[in-house]
Amino acid sequence: MQLEKHLIDEHNHQLFKKHSRNFEHIAADIDGIDSLLNKLKAFNVAIPSWALGTGGTRFGRFSGGGEPRSLEEKLEDVGLIHALNKSSNSISLHIPWDIPDNAAAIKALAAQLGLHFDAVNSNTFQDQSAQQHSYKFGSLHHVDKAVRQQAVEHNLQVVKYGVELGSKALSVWLSDGSNFPGQLNFRGAFQNTLESLQQIYAGLPDDWKVWVEYKPYEPNFYSTTIGDWGQSYLLASKLGPKASTLVDLGHHLQGTNIEQIVSILLMEGKLAGFHFNDSKYGDDDLTVGSINPYQLFLIFNELVEGLDARGMNHATGIGWMIDASHNVKDPIEDLLQSVQAIKIAYAQALLVDKVALQAAQQSNDVALAQEVLQAAYRTDVRPLIAEASLANGGSLDPLATFRKLKVREQLIAQRGLKTVATGL
């Protein structure tokens, strides 16, 4: 299904008076409001194909009803999200969960919905029925060259699918690691991973990138072969300029200062982009901004400062993606909330008085530095997000419009109550 624009406009009309009052109130205090709104209007976050169905845990999965049954329906769902928030104009596919059998038709459908294809993701963390060798003991790091070769070929196949769809990046996350001390020779595992990645790198088209994701634990619980940003950065550096490090917010040990990691990677030109989510304990993959919105703001503060320092475009300089999925919310509502939270953190970071912050840092005025940051963080920027969405033809309040227009009810009527999307 697709949303008719006049229905969104009608709901905006009902919300407009209150919005207008709130927007004028905040806009009066912002220098360069037009430039700020233009940045918000240009900002988009890619939606992962695996987050459009209700996520499961290892204990079970509770389908939410009206889930997309095919890649076409997943595209339609992203189209719905984008129609509402005008900030989700791309989809990140996961192979083999979402193999585009007819790439031309899929591409045409995406274009019709105003969407394009973000990074493609390979999967060597589970066995597929047709494959010859098992990934039980890893893939790109495996001790057996035949297994490594199979994993390399899978990645090159994913690139091929991506080329057909117009993607420009391959995102690699490996579950390779060990569960027990002594199981692996760490250097051997790293060298094998590097050699495998070098083969993949050699097969990348000229205008492609490879993004190397890291994660400290899970599904392996003693070591992960690409366990932290240092290991990812080392691989990306050895591979070459097309390779960089992908930061997934849930892939850190508790208490890790992610904003500092981001700052240094960006300084070195090795920050590929983000997988946004939120967590309280580990890789919880909860809705962005639901647990720790202040951390998200601090990360965006480093991003904005670092992107500006390198003269990079905020919207296109690095990859912005959501990687979240859980088991109790409506997936579309969850994604709308996540994109909204990301835009709020971005807008707050844009409001930071950089001159005052720098002056405070240079004079070691610690209290003032905190005041400057928190003045931005404590600003209710939602009217700015709403104004940018309205100007782009989206909804003033995407989640409220989704509910008002009874989108999920219509999806259930079309697709049925007991549908299960492929994915997590």
Chain contacts with Mn ion (rule: CB under 5 A): 248, 275, 323
Residue found under tokens 């492609």: 208
CB-based burial of residue 136 (10 Å sphere; 0-12 exposed, 13-18 middle, 19+ buried)?
A: exposed
- Using an 8 Å Cβ cutoff, are 423 and 29 in contact? no
**C-beta of 278 vs 323, nearer to Mn ion:** 323
Nearest CB to Mn ion, comparing residues 76 and 248:
248
Smallest distance from the beta carbon of 285 to Mn ion, in angstroms?
8
Query: Among 88, 5, 68, which Cα is nearest to 336's?
Result: 88
Using alpha carbons, select from 313, 395, 296, 382 the residue that is nearest to residue 27.
382
- Residue 68: asked if its preceding bond is cis (omega within 30°), the reply is no
Strand partners, 121: 94, 171
The minimum distance between CB 279 and Mn ion, in angstroms, equals 12
In the complex, minimum distance from the CB of residue 369 to Mn ion, in angstroms, rounded to a whole number:
32
Tell me the closest approach of the beta carbon of residue 284 to Mn ion, in angstroms: 12
Query: For 181, how many CA atoms within 13 A lie in the half-sphere containing its CB?
Result: 0
Query: In the bound complex, what is the minimum distance in angstroms from residue 248's beta carbon to Mn ion?
Result: 4
- Least separation in angstroms between CB 214 and Mn ion: 10
- Rounded least distance, CB 178 to Mn ion, Å: 21
Q: How far is residue 291's CA from residue 295's CA, in Å, rounded to a whole number?
A: 9
CB of 213 to Mn ion, least distance (A): 6
Give least dist CB 14 to Mn ion, A: 38
* Other beta carbons less than 10 A from residue 207's beta carbon: 9
Of 156, 319, 124, 157, the residue nearest 226 (C-alpha)? 124
Secondary structure of residue 212 in the 3-state scheme: strand
Residue 48 vs 79, nearer CB to Mn ion: 48
C-alpha span between 418 and 237 (Å, rounded): 47
Rank residues 98 and 323 by Cβ distance to Mn ion and give the closer one: 323
Element (H, E) at 337: helix 331-351
Nearer to Mn ion, 139 or 419 (CB): 139
**Closer residue to Mn ion in complex, CB, 322/384:** 322
Q: How many whole angstroms separate alpha carbon 189 and alpha carbon 170?
A: 21
Distance CA 399, CA 379 (A): 21
Which sign does the torsion angle of CA 36, 291, 323, 312 carry? positive
CB of 73 to Mn ion, least distance (A): 23
Query: How far apart, in Å, are the Cα atoms of 351 and each of 21, 315, 368?
Result: 20, 17, 16
Nearer Cβ to Mn ion, position 323 or 397?
323
Looking from the CA of 14 toward its CB, the CA atoms found within 13 Å total 10
Nearer to Mn ion, 323 or 334 (CB): 323
Shorter beta-carbon distance to Mn ion: residue 74 or 251:
251
In the bound state with Mn ion, the residue whose beta carbon lies nearer, of 322 and 336, is 322
Q: Residue 32: which region, alpha, beta or left (left: phi > 0; alpha: psi -120 to 50)? A: left
